[in-house]
Amino acid sequence: MTATFVADIDGVALDRAAFLSATASMLASFPDLEYSPVNIAFANGPTTVGWIAYYKGTHSGAPFSPLPGVPAVPPRAPPVRYASKDFAEVAFADFAPNTGLLQIERLTVKQLTPGPGKYSAGAGLYIQAGGDTSKLPPLSVLPPPPAKMLGLF
């Protein structure tokens, strides 16, 4: 990541420190977290890469909040494994020029299938874990990904 890295997660902008903190929080809550990117392809030029991704994990660690300011949900007893099959995300990484696709400048993540209550990534896991959707920010939807990324759907 570049020093000026910014992530746009479902319409919420996170700087580098906030993004790393949110990622660490997710891993602390879901110690066996699996992130499965599929249909990886160049999009909009040679420095932007896009993919579709799914999350799976058991909420067996710390209480979980997907974004700053969203109240955390404690794990259930016994712990429950959640999957984002209904909350697929589309992500685009914009790499800094002349870095050989090694330094991400911007990461944009949105839900793949728009609809009421369909959040991607951590917010999708949060909803499945019993989180309050009214505490999440409004949905932000990207245009559909390029057809070459949709080969498995």
59 C-beta neighbours (distance < 10 Å), count: 25
Q: What is the mean pLDDT of residues 42-70?
A: 85
Check whether 63 has a pLDDT greater than 50. Answer: yes
Q: What is the mean pLDDT of residues 114-125?
A: 65
Q: What does the DSSP 8-state code read for residue 74? A: P
pTM of the model: 0.78
Q: What does the DSSP 8-state code read for residue 92? A: E
Q: Return the top range by mean pLDDT from 46-55, 117-126, 137-146.
A: 46-55
pLDDT tens digits for 30-47? 999 888 888 888 877 788
pLDDT of residue 116: 52
Residue 77: helix, strand or coil by DSSP? Answer: coil
- pLDDT, mean over the chain: 80
> 77 vs 60, 61, 64, 132, CA distance in Å?
9, 11, 14, 19
Check whether 1 has a pLDDT greater than 90. Answer: yes
